[in-house]
């Protein structure tokens, strides 16, 4: 398999915001994506806005440089993420956007609007055509699927289910609708908590398969009929319908890579990745707390190959830690599964050439 190019700039989160903005600009321009944009293109900048209380997320001011360059080609650029499966500050668009604002993702700072890609409560979705392994079709957030180009902005961290959370996970899990997240996270259908269920019947109205039945003051889900679409979880106002989380990390990683493959194929040449190796932490930005660095800050990486940029990110972190696998030390998970699966599918190559760029 051919080697992919990964561009690299050394950086530290302790540098002034305008310096990091300039470095992010240089990394973005090295991608070549700018030359493939047109004035009519909608471009989604996929990012994690950080859970309330989290301190590791990518800062909005760091993105001013790439945003300014993109807007020289198209004014139809927007920052985006999709709603979460779990109930919290990021489970509906209103709370999600307010959280993004509170973390600095406002037009006066970064120059771009925020759009939550799967709508008010996660029902705005479509399907990326094709099949990849276990995934028959990828259920993707509507605003992302409707866009013409995609820039994946990822804070690289460890992760409790996949070992590493980087560009592949941001593409696969991050771009998925709630139904797509459920598809990747679970091998069984949602279940109902008898203690939380109010027997209000709202979930019955939204179930497209008629798989929900009333029984003795609560509802039940018929696993044989259930489609696994997640509509009941969205509809329930009381948090009574939950995911049975899959504990098979290999299967989850493979599904994430399969989703990422279908999303990347949808955009073709109009997709690129920036990985931020700044404040690399044990857990992802969904954790509502401050966390210490696993290693000293490294820099910003850019590539149109999500497999290569993730492999390079992992290699640089392990190199910085003196060869110790700090990701595996956090959770004993073979995080390379997602990279191997991505390479096997044709998502990208684990072989790469690292090209260090001069700081602007």
CB 228 within 8 A of CB 257: no
Q: Where in the chain is the domain with CATH 3.40.50.11440?
A: 4-184+247-356
Helical (H) or strand (E) element with 125: strand 125-128
pLDDT at 186 over 80: no
The mean pLDDT of 34-38, rounded to a whole number, is: 98
Strand partners for 77: 43
pLDDT at 247 over 80: no
pLDDT band with cut points at 50, 70 and 90 for residue 128: confident
CB 175 within 8 A of CB 141: yes
CB 109 within 8 A of CB 60: yes
At 188 the pLDDT is: 63
DSSP assignment string, 22-65: HHHHHHHHHHSGGGG--TT--EEEE-----TT---SPPGGGGHH
pLDDT at 63 over 70: yes
Q: How far apart (Å, rounded) are the C-alpha atoms in residues 347 and 339?
A: 9
Q: pLDDT (tens digit, 9 = 90+) per residue, 256-273?
A: 999 999 999 999 999 999
C-alpha distances in Å from residue 320, one per residue of 297, 306, 310, 311, 325: 9, 21, 15, 14, 10
pLDDT band with cut points at 50, 70 and 90 for residue 239: confident
The mean pLDDT of 26-55, rounded to a whole number, is: 97
The mean pLDDT of 108-126, rounded to a whole number, is: 94
| Lowest mean pLDDT across 164-178, 225-239, 246-260, 321-335 | 225-239
Q: How far apart (Å, rounded) are the C-alpha atoms in residues 256 and 274?
A: 18
Residues 6+ apart with CB under 8 A from 323: none
User: How much of the chain, in percent, has pLDDT values that exceed 70?
Assistant: 99
Q: What are phi and psi of 168, to 5 degrees?
A: -60, -45
Q: How far apart (Å, rounded) are the C-alpha atoms in residues 284 and 275?
A: 14
The mean pLDDT of 41-51, rounded to a whole number, is: 97
At 212 the pLDDT is: 94
pLDDT at 246 over 80: no
DSSP assignment string, 268-301: TTSEEEEEEESS--SS-TTSSS----SS---EEE
- 4-184+247-356 CATH pick, 3.20.20.140, 1.10.260.40, 3.30.70.20, 3.40.50.11440: 3.40.50.11440
* CATH code for the structural domain at 189-242: 3.30.70.20
DSSP state of 2: P
CA 265 to chain centre: 16
| Lowest mean pLDDT across 34-48, 211-225, 273-287, 345-359 | 211-225
What pTM does this model have?
Answer: 0.89
Query: What is the number of H-type helices and E-type strands within the chain?
Result: 13, 16
pLDDT band with cut points at 50, 70 and 90 for residue 231: confident
Q: How far apart (Å, rounded) are the C-alpha atoms in residues 164 and 158?
A: 4
Residues 6+ apart with CB under 8 A from 224: none
């Amino acid at each position: 398999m051919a080697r992919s190019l990964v561009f690299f700039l050394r950086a530290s989160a302790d540098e002034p915001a305008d310096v990091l903005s300039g470095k992010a600009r240089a990394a973005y321009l090295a991608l070549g994506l700018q030359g493939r944009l047109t004035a009519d293109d909608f471009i989604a900048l996929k990012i994690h806005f950080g859970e309330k209380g989290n301190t590791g997320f990518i800062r909005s001011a760091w993105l001013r440089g790439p945003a300014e360059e993109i807007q020289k080609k198209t004014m139809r650029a927007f920052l985006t993420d999709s709603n979460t499966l779990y109930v919290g500050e990021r489970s509906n668009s209103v709370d999600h956007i307010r959280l993004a604002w509170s973390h600095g993702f406002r037009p006066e700072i970064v120059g771009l609007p925020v759009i939550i890609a799967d709508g008010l409560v996660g029902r705005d979705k479509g399907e990326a055509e094709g099949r990849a392994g276990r995934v028959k079709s990828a259920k993707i957030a509507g605003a992302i699927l409707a866009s013409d180009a995609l820039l994946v902005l990822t804070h690289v961290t460890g992760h409790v289910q996949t070992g590493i959370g980087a560009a592949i996970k941001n593409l696969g899990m991050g771009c998925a609708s709630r139904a797509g997240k459920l598809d990747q996270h679970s091998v069984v259908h949602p279940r109902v908590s008898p203690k939380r269920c109010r027997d209000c019947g709202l979930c019955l109205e939204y179930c497209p398969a008629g798989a929900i039945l009333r029984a003795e003051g609560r509802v039940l889900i018929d696993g044989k009929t259930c489609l696994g679409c997640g509509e009941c979880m969205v509809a329930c106002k009381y948090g009574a319908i939950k995911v049975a989380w899959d504990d098979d990390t290999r299967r989850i990683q493979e599904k994430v890579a399969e989703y990422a493959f279908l999303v990347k194929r949808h955009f073709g040449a109009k997709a690129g990745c920036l990985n931020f190796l700044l404040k690399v932490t044990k857990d992802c930005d969904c954790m509502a707390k401050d966390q210490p660095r696993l290693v000293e800050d490294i820099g910003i990486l850019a590539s149109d190959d999500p497999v290569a940029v993730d492999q390079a990110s992992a290699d640089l972190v392990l190199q910085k830690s003196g060869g110790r696998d700090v990701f595996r030390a956090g959770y004993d998970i073979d995080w390379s599964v997602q990279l191997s699966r991505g390479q096997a599918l044709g998502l990208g190559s684990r072989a790469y050439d690292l090209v260090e760029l001069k700081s602007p």
